[in-house]
Amino acid sequence: MLNRRILRAKAMQAVYSYHLCKDANYEVAIEKIKTSFLPDLTAAEKQDIEKLNKDRDVAIHLFEQQFKDKDILKQNNGEITPRIRQSVVDAVNFYHNQNQKDRENIGKGMVLHAEKLMERSLSLLQLLIDFADFAEKEAKERHRRQIIPAPIFEHEQKLFKNKTIEKVRNHHKFAKEILDRKIYWDIENIRTWYKLLQKDEKYVAYQQLPAATAFQDAEFAIYLLRDFILKNEVIESHLSETDYNWQEDKITVRSMALKTLKNIHEQENEGEIVQLSANWEDDKDFFKQLYQLSLQHEDEIRPLIANKSENWDISRITAVDLALLLMALCEMIYFPSIPIKVTINEILEIAKDYGTPKSKDFLNGLLDVLSQELEKDGKIVKTGRGLLDNK
């Protein structure tokens, strides 16, 4: 299941991605200015290359400076010709418009990606069914090709008749989810992977059982999911190639799929399908707000960081550490029900996985100082559960 630490980590990645896009948009805007001062090769008259280069440099300087002084273009400066002014205005508009698009798209993608984890866990359970169905289909096809027809042996149907997999196949809610989400596996992949399964020692031993008990069926179904599907190099490679987030998400997906499988096996009626979280709508709201507010209030939060990061120019703080600082301070200020200690502890745990070896100590020291100062100034005001553990 998705807990809030995982959601914070994914929000951090989204903030980090937005900053990368923002930097790229800045460079593209400058390239647009350069392009607007290229000589017109179709012009009949001779181009003044020196003046074009000079105007280009003035326009780039104005573009860079206007982020410090928004009124710089209003100055009555003889150097600022209409062409220069227009090129800067166009570049600034492009920069802000593209940033807004990227911010919205990254935010939407962040939520869609999180919600895809449910689909991935269901697809792993569907793979169990596909293996079992393929085993049955192959056995029937093999016997059909025999000159003298013979009945299908019991061991050949062992996987198809696996009681745990059969319960998954007959689970109405699961079947509806698979249908609604259009989840399916390519038959050629199933064929390739089943050949690998046929060589697996545990599968061979399972087939040779005289009659599998419900416990043995469940034990093998769990093995098939946990140890064969999720550890086989060929299948793992396919999952990584088709989902660039697989390596990061597979622990969560594995946990959800295994819990659902055990639920279905253990319950006489239809066992519960493990959801993304206990209350996904609340968690999704937290997730989206943390991302949106961190960027919305970035211009207010950055000076707080710069003023307290002694001996560190804010431009030298790593992009990951900066994203974590923005999120932490946003959460402290704009999420009154979350205790300060919870925020700091969660951010430090994320820093262990995504930051540098120095990130944890750097973030801990800076957040401790800033939280105390912001509380003293009345900028952090906690209510309800947010008052717990703050002393």
Three-state SS for the chain is CCCHHHHHHHHHHHHHHHHHHHHHHHHHHHHHHHHHCCCCCCCCCCCCHHHHHHHHHHHHHHHHHCCCCCCHHHCCCCCCCHHHHHHHHHHHHHHHHHHHHHHHHHHHHHHHHHHHHHHHHHHHHHHHHHHHHHHHHHHHHHHHCCCCCCCCCHHHHCCCCCHHHHHHHCCHHHHHHHHHCCCCCCHHHHHHHHHHHHCCHHHHHHHCCCCCCHHHHHHHHHHHHHHHHCCCHHHHHHHHHHCCCHHHHHHHHHHHHHHHHHHHHHCCCCCCCCCCCCCHHHHHHHHHHHHHHHHHCHHHHHHHHHHHCCCCCHHHCCHHHHHHHHHHHHHHHHCCCCCHHHHHHHHHHHHHHHCCCCHHHHHHHHHHHHHHHHHHCCCCCCCHHHHCCCC
Domain count, the chain: 3
Low-confidence ranges of the chain (pLDDT < 70): 76-78, 143-156, 310-315, 386, 388-391
Q: Verify that 161 and 218 share a domain, yes or no.
A: yes
Give the model's pLDDT for residue 40: 84
Closest CA to 8 of 253, 297, 338: 338
Tell whether 68 and 86 lie within a shared domain.
Answer: yes
pLDDT value at residue 373: 94
> Which pLDDT score, from 0 to 100, does residue 77 have?
67
**Would you state the pLDDT for residue 390?**
55
Asked if residue 262 and residue 144 are part of one domain, the reply reads yes
Domain that holds residue 124: 117-266
Q: Say if residue 134 is in the same domain as residue 95.
A: no
In a domain, 282, yes or no: no
- pTM of the complete model: 0.87
Q: Using only the alpha carbons of the chain, give its radius of gyration.
A: 29
Residue 32: what pLDDT? 97
Q: Which of 244, 266, 288 is the last residue of a domain?
A: 266
Cα dihedral: 83, 84, 85, 86 (round 10) = 50
Which of the listed residues 110, 139, 163 is the one where a domain comes to its end? Answer: 110
pLDDT of residue 89: 93
Give the CATH number for residue 322: 1.10.940.10
